[in-house]
Structure 1
């Protein structure tokens, strides 16, 4: 790989979702030169993936709500969150919502307080929607900042570090030309890793690349085993978010032959009606509530039959007589997509959705590496075993701003680090060669990616156990032995997918090991062979890299 050009900038921001936009615009506003790299187009990632009619931001109602809000987060987290970050969110989110307009968003406040997903108390929620209009607004805003350069359809493939500080990165642009970006700091806002699952409710760029960049630079990961799976519609329109609140009008949940799939899994004392009622209150799967059997029933049947067609929901026609905003907005959105819950056969299955864990940061988005920041879904912070609804968008604003403030101070007090171009490109080649098996017949990057997506969906999904996790790890090792990355990195059309395949091999190994290590069931993590929560695991699981080996430790 040959470098086309070396470019200098104060800060490299990787990602252009809510978190990347917030931090990048804040830094540009302060007069710093910023390069914003995004794998697809401006306003990308899960922030702007149109899987539902709108997204919400939950805010603190008043001073009296602060302790109540904190307790809501703790109850949902099951001791797996960062308490300091949760308190900061509660203190600052009201002010940050007022700044949405600065990044092109005009949210609207719901007329009544509402309980967010998993919340025990209702509070004020602001809704975000009309993603195309937001993207237009952002483009207009960026024109005001000539010191912010947008690189669309580009991919950061490796960070450069010297003297324990970040010094820049290697980047493949839209033409697959290799650039060395020299920067005083790097802000990673690359999102989660839902795309590592065959069936997911994420765009293709939510692929965990930022996790690998941070890990290899010397940062650690936390809570990686806590992954949200949420039912999505498989038919009539694949990869559409299903509204769990519609279960209030659901008469049954059946397989292809019309048999209720809940009958065989519900424990004594839990009726089908009660299970559906509880499941209507939250989107993602959780082991924390009796409604878990709704998702477990689906996954058991999928594993048993190897069918991925999904399961049919039988709706009462009276659902279309409900005049409440919460139903009307969703039903109208479905109508725009040609979906009717009563006249169509609506089938759903578990989809990978959001990662509750990520890069370990402090309350200013700082990692263990000087000059390296991580924000948004990429970062592990206020989320724990479950994710409290309405906090993810707000966290992008709160910690995106705090990261920008800290980054500004860092950039103002540090000079560019002298780096030798030839030495750095040599180290990049060494990384690639380590990932190259030199197999006689190498799998292509896309073959590796698709195989891992299949493995993760069947073995690292809602239901997990030691036997299947071990089997999955063996399959990943086999793929690794058949993938010669080096033979693809010099192919202009496959360079980016070559790195994605390599990242998937690393990331899937981390996720499976983390799932295996936590021998209990807690929140989004369900082990069929350890079905209860165990106080011995009231600790967070950290992952680090040392001498090319993963180190996992509960702390």
Structure 2
């Protein structure tokens, strides 16, 4: 794997600096920036607009043990159970115990959650033993959280936000410390060097490597790819969560149908109108991997539907106005008819390996949110734990930065320059001929990942995927438009997923091998690790130690 996506010259780069550089504008990035701004000057860079992230699209809510009948201990137990033996108990304990205060702070920042008779309204989702899911505007929780955080950031004089900035690679000095990021200004086509005493990756997931995904177009695995090229460890990349219920209508996007719909009482039925989950423990509210595979199996016999009608029309309109209105656009009225659904790639449980303070294997580099992996989600994330994850570990990153931040700012002179010739006039904006060629490669990646590294996996298909992705990755990126750079990142992270899935010869959580269907704790209750110079995937035991 090359160190940089393409060669570049230091003399062509505009240089900026700040104390803390945050890459990404979802819940993890913005919350971290706000917390860090109490002590430091912060720059937030975002690929598109500040509002565009996976957070904005989150419907169901945020899981937190705040009800009198609930407790952090019950939340802890539910998370471990869903994680299929790969959760690190220490990080899960931190999540559930520090979560309530972080959510209270989020509300102090302006996030308004739904209430009933003056009390916070709570619902239940799959694999939760209690009603502990906070939601906003019915089914627009992510939008409301993003709205509140964006408003807070824009009103903060210690935070500078720059939109339309694509992170190309991380910058390092001669002792291997990360000192900033090389960034492409999408409007001007110019390279920028953003230097900082600490860099936080909060760039989200990689759903776009799959043909069918609930993720927005920005989710191309950029943060994981740049960290891998810089030499950081990736962990548990075989564990991709496929959401069981996404809208399945020809020519329509795989719009997410929140798990909260089933939490409120909707039924999964087959073409004959039969509830095929009836004989499975937990029924419609079993863990996501179980429900997704059950739907996938049922789809071999015919269509699968999610029937909202048992919820009742009044409750549907109150809790799921966005879903109702979106489905109406495609001619489907959930008040009167079952909705056709299918699984889609939704969330990456793996990512950049971190400890419980968000520290990666590279000095001064931190990661939070979906691009990070600290063992809190194990092999199968418990529904609605992701937003909480971004809050809790974003706050802990700031604690660690305060302890370890260097007094002296990095200088442009100490940044290591890449080998090779300058890219020169290779910088191009959208709409180039190369982009059309690149779109073909992107489509091949998405189809290959869906067909061969998807919900059901086997050795032959995984080996085919690994070999093809390795061959495609050998081609150089010949222009510097964002689409090309995204495709290069999709190749890198797709290959990491395929390699880890091929090596893990068992089935666990979101990783299911039809040729190795058993869950084998004695051999495989271990985290996978990958580094760019490693030929083989490495493994470390699941541990509660930090």
Give the TM-score normalised by structure 1. Answer: 0.82
> CA-to-partner distance for each residue in 1:278-301, whole Å, 9 max, x for gaps?
442147323xx7x84322333x57
Aligned partner of 2:177 among 165, 178, 181: 165
Would the aligned equivalents of 2:123 and 2:134 in 1 still touch at CA under 8 Å? no
CA distance in 2 between partners of 1:535 and 1:122 (Å): 28
Name the structure 2 match of 1:240: 255
Q: Which residue of 2 aligns with 1:470?
A: 463
For residues 320 and 516 of structure 1, the distance between their equivalents in structure 2, rounded to whole angstroms, comes to 42
Deviations 1:298-336 (A, max 9, x none): 3x57xxxxxxxx9352848x536365x4x4445533332
1:482-536 Cα offsets, whole Å, 9 max, x none, are x331x212xxxx2x22221111111111101111111111111111111121123
Contact 1:539–1:554 (CA<8 Å) still a contact in 2?
no
Counterpart of 2:135 in 1: which secondary structure? strand
Alpha-carbon displacement from aligned partner over 1:191-228 (angstroms, at most 9, x marks no partner):
11111111100111111111112222232121211111
| Whole-angstrom distance in 2 between the partners of 1:143 and 1:312 | 44
**Residues 24 and 72 of structure 1: is their aligned pair in 2 closer, same or farther, counting only changes over 3 Å?**
same
Secondary structure of residue in 1 paired with 2:278: helix
Ranges in structure 1 where 5+ consecutive residues have no aligned partner: 263-270, 302-309, 434-440
Q: Is the 8 A contact 1:117 1:282 kept in 2?
A: yes
Q: Does residue 222 of structure 1 match 2:222? A: no
Report SS of the residue matched to 2:288.
coil
| Deviations, residues 370-392 of structure 1 (Å, cap 9, x unaligned) | 11110011111210111112221
Secondary structure of 1:526's aligned partner: coil
Matched, 1:515 2:484: no
Is 1:9 paired with 2:21?
no
Per-residue deviation, residues 22-64 of structure 1 (Å, max 9, x unmatched): 111111122x1211011111133211126x4x42332355798
Displacement after TM superposition at 1:416 (Å):
2.1
Distance between the aligned counterparts of 1:249 and 1:371, measured in 2?
47
Partner of 1:453, secondary structure, is helix
1:335 pairs with 324, 327, 330, which one? Answer: 324
| Structure 1 partner of 2:431 | none
Aligned with residue 76 of structure 1, among 71, 82, 88? 82
- Counterpart-to-counterpart distance in 2, 1:548 and 1:458: 26
CA distance in 2, matches of 1:75, 1:134: 28
Show the counterpart of 2:284.
280
User: What RMSD, in angstroms, separates the aligned Cα atoms of the two structures?
Assistant: 3.2
From the superposition, tell whether residues 243 and 142 of structure 1 become closer, same or farther in structure 2 (CA, over 3 Å). Answer: closer
Change (3 A) 1:541 1:251: closer
Other-structure match for 2:200: 187
Q: In the alignment, is the contact (CA less than 8 A) between 1:118 and 1:282 conserved in 2?
A: yes
Alignment of 1:51-450 (within 5 A): 52=59, 54-59=60-65, 61=67, 65-101=71-107, 103-108=109-114, 114-119=123-128, 121-129=129-137, 130=140, 137-162=148-173, 163-175=175-187, 176-230=189-243, 231-235=245-249, 237-243=252-258, 245-246=261-262, 250=267, 252-254=269-271, 272=276, 274-275=278-279, 278-282=282-286, 284-286=288-290, 292-298=293-299, 311-313=303-305, 315=307, 318-319=309-310, 321=312, 325=315, 327-337=316-326, 338=328, 339-341=332-334, 343=336, 346-381=339-374, 382-411=376-405, 413-420=406-413, 423-426=416-419, 444-450=437-443
Q: Distance in 1 between matches of 2:170 and 2:443?
A: 26
The CA deviation at 1:369 is 1.3
Report the Cα distance in structure 2 between the residues aligned to 1:167 and 1:250, rounded to whole angstroms: 51
The answer as to 2:516 corresponding to 1:524 is no
CA contact (8 A) 1:109 1:126 kept: no
Q: CA deviation at 1:136?
A: 5.2
Secondary structure of the structure 1 residue equivalent to 2:37: helix
Per the normalisation by structure 2, the TM-score is: 0.83
Single out whichever of 399-408 and 99-108 deviates more from structure 2.
99-108
Gaps of 5+ in 2: 1-7, 427-433, 542-546
Aligned pairs, how many? 506
| SS of residue matched to 1:43 | coil
Contact 1:275/1:294 (8 A) holds in 2: no
Equivalent-residue separation in structure 2 for 1:249 and 1:211 (angstroms): 36
Deviation at 1:85, TM superposition (A): 0.9
The whole-number CA distance in structure 2 between the counterparts of 1:211 and 1:55 is 25
Give the direction of change, closer, same or farther, for the CA distance of 1:419–1:249 in structure 2 (3 Å limit). closer
Does structure 2 conserve the Cα–Cα contact (< 8 Å) formed by 1:25 and 1:103?
no
* Separation in structure 2 between the aligned mates of residue 104 and residue 195 of structure 1, nearest angstrom: 31
2:3 counterpart residue number: none
- Structure 1 Cα separation of the partners of residues 454 and 226 of structure 2: 24
Q: What SS class does the counterpart of residue 90 from structure 1 fall into? A: helix
Q: Deviations over 1:412-435 (max 9, x none)?
A: x442234437852547969xx9xx
